[in-house]
Amino acid sequence: MTEEVMEQTQFEPKFAEEWKKNPMKKPKLKALIVNTCVGESGPRYERSKEILRQITNREPVDRQAKESIRGFNIRKGEPIASLVTLRGDEAGKALKRFLYAYDYEIKHSSFDEQGNFAFGITEHVDIEDAPFDPMLGTIGFNVVVKIERAGYRLKYRQRKRQSIPKKHLISPEEAMEYLVTEFGMKII
């Protein structure tokens, strides 16, 4: 991405007028997925699951190993990771808390072609208002942010599923401008 595009997303609102004319075009935060992988079951896994529960106030979902790896003592079907999906206002509040660890700055290389982005947090104590229990320790986790606009339901519905037209897809520049205006982020 060129520096010119980055300057436009940070300082000059390029898509704001289009969003005012057509509110269906304005992107929105669809989901925030918080994932932690320990790589083993047992007490370490249970501690990471409890920390994730404290951070998000939601019950984490277990993720099992897809195959056995003898060198790491992992058996197929053994729970080694957990994740939580947040949606709506809860996702927006959690995103602001997680971005606090990065001083609200995200690299432009973190964005994919559909406008979604991801980042990692090395220790959960870097998050704003994160609880710390010495008995549990600290964990790191990945955060994936999914950005969509109205009408994406066509892609996921059960009946008459269709693909999203290219003119309705979100570009990375559009997602960046949305995050700068709505969440006060800086794209570096």
Q: Helix (H, G, I), strand (E, B), or coil: what is residue 131? A: coil
Contact predicate 9/176, CB 8 Å: yes
**CATH number for the domain including 111?**
3.30.1440.10
pLDDT string in tens for the chain (188-residue length):
445 544 444 556 788 888 889 888 899 999 999 998 887 778 888 888 888 888 888 999 988 888 888 887 778 888 888 999 999 999 999 898 888 887 888 888 889 898 899 988 877 666 777 667 666 667 788 899 999 988 888 888 889 998 888 888 888 999 999 988 888 888 88
**Residue written as tokens 């794209």?**
187
Q: What is the pLDDT of residue 32?
A: 93
Q: What is the pLDDT of residue 5?
A: 47
The number of angstroms, rounded, from the C-alpha of 4 to the middle of its chain's C-alpha atoms is 26
Say how many domains are in the chain.
Answer: 1
d(CA 16, CA 47): 44
Q: Helix (H, G, I), strand (E, B), or coil: what is residue 74? A: strand
Domain that holds residue 81: 3-187
Q: What is the pLDDT of residue 147?
A: 93
Q: What is the pLDDT of residue 103?
A: 81
The DSSP call for residue 184 is: -
Half-sphere exposure of 28 (CA within 13 A, CB side): 11
Quick one: angle between helices 88-99 and 172-183, nearest 10? 80
